[in-house]
A and B are shown apart, each in its own frame.
Chain A
Amino acid sequence: MKNIVKISFRNLMRSGRRTILTASLITIGVMFVLIYSALAGSFKAYMVGQVTDSMLGHIQIHRKGYIASVDNLPLDKNLNQKQIAKVTELLDKNPYIESYTFRLKLGAMFSNYVASTSLRLNGIDPEKEAMTLPLFASRVQGSDAGMLQEGHILVPELVAKGMKVAKGDTIVLVATNLKGSVNGLNFKVAGTVEPISGPGGRDGYIHIKDVQKLLRLKQAEVSEIAIRLKNVDDLEKAMKSLKPLQMMKNQKDKPVFEIHTWKKLSPFYNIVKMLDLMDISIKIILISIVLISVLNVMVMSVYERIKEIGTIAAMGTSPATITKLFLTEGLMLGIFGTLLGSLLSYLIVIVINSVGIAFSFGRQDDLVLNPVLHLNEMLIVSAIVILISLIASISPAIKAANLDPVDALRQN
Chain B
Amino acid sequence: MLKNEHVTKVYKMGEVDLTVIKDLSLSIDDGEFVAIVGPSGSGKSTVLNILGCLDKPTEGKVTVEDVDVTQLNRTELAHFRGEHIGFIFQSFNLIPVLSVYENIEYPLIMIQNLPEAERHERIMQLLEDVDMLDQKDKFPDQLSGGQRQRVAIARALVTKPKIVFADEPTANLDTKTSQQIIELMRSIQQEFNTTFIFATHDEKIVTAVDRIITLVDGVITDDKRVAS
Residues of A within 8 A of B (CB): 3-4, 7, 10-11, 13-14, 307-308, 310-321, 405-406, 409
Q: Is the CB of B93 within 8 A of A317?
A: no
B56-88: CB near A (< 8 Å → 1, else 0) gives 000000000000000000110011111101010
Q: Is the CB of B89 within 8 A of A317?
A: no
> Which residues of A have CB within 8 Å of B78?
313, 316-319
A319 and B81 CA atoms in complex are apart in Å by: 13
> Which residues of A have CB within 8 Å of B106?
312, 315
Main secondary structure of the interface of B (DSSP, over half): helix
Q: Is the CB of B97 within 8 A of A7?
A: yes
B55 located at the interface, meaning its Cβ lies under 8 Å from any Cβ of chain A in the complex: yes
Q: Is the CB of B97 within 8 A of A315?
A: no
Give which listed residue, A14, A311, A316, A320, contacts B82 with CB less than 8 A: A316
- 20 pairs of residues in contact across A and B, judged by CB atoms under 8 Å: A3-B109, A3-B110, A10-B97, A14-B96, A307-B93, A311-B93, A312-B95, A312-B110, A314-B54, A315-B87, A315-B106, A315-B107, A315-B111, A316-B80, A316-B107, A316-B159, A317-B110, A319-B75, A321-B110, A406-B54
Give which listed residue, B55, B75, B81, B107, contacts A320 with CB less than 8 A: B75
Shortest beta-carbon contacts, A-B, top 10: A316-B82, A10-B97, A311-B93, A316-B81, A316-B111, A318-B78, A3-B109, A406-B55, A405-B54, A314-B87
B98 located at the interface, meaning its Cβ lies under 8 Å from any Cβ of chain A in the complex: yes
Q: B73 to chain A: closest CB distance in Å?
A: 10
> Which residues of B have CB within 8 Å of A308?
93, 95-96
> Which residues of A have CB within 8 Å of B155?
315
| Most-contacted residue by chain A among B55, B75, B89, B110 (CB, 10 A) | B110
A309 and B85 CA atoms in complex are apart in Å by: 17
Chain B contributes a number of interface residues (CB within 8 A of A) equal to 27
Given contacts A7-B97, A311-B93, A317-B78, 5 further A-B contacts (CB under 8 A): A308-B96, A315-B81, A317-B82, A406-B49, A409-B54
Q: B97 to chain A: closest CB distance in Å?
A: 4
A311-B95 contact, Cβ under 8 Å, with A317-B110, A318-B75, A405-B54? yes
Q: A18 to chain B: closest CB distance in Å?
A: 14
Q: B147 to chain A: closest CB distance in Å?
A: 18
Q: B44 to chain A: closest CB distance in Å?
A: 13
From 98 to 137 in chain B, residues with beta carbon under 8 angstroms from any chain A beta carbon are 98, 106-107, 109-111
Residue of A nearest to B92 (CB): A311
Give which listed residue, B81, B83, B97, B109, contacts A11 with CB less than 8 A: B97
Q: Is the CB of B97 within 8 A of A316?
A: no
> Which residues of A have CB within 8 Å of B93?
307-308, 310-311, 409
A353 and B151 CA atoms in complex are apart in Å by: 58
Q: Is the CB of A311 within 8 A of B89?
A: yes
Q: A375 to chain B: closest CB distance in Å?
A: 36
Residue of B nearest to A8 (CB): B97
> Which residues of A have CB within 8 Å of B82?
315-317
> Which residues of B have CB within 8 Å of A321?
110
> Which residues of B have CB within 8 Å of A10?
97-98
A183 and B135 CA atoms in complex are apart in Å by: 106
> Which residues of A have CB within 8 Å of B55?
406
Q: A69 to chain B: closest CB distance in Å?
A: 74
A14-B75 contact, Cβ under 8 Å, with A315-B106, A317-B82, A321-B110? no
Residue of A nearest to B96 (CB): A14
A313 and B55 CA atoms in complex are apart in Å by: 12
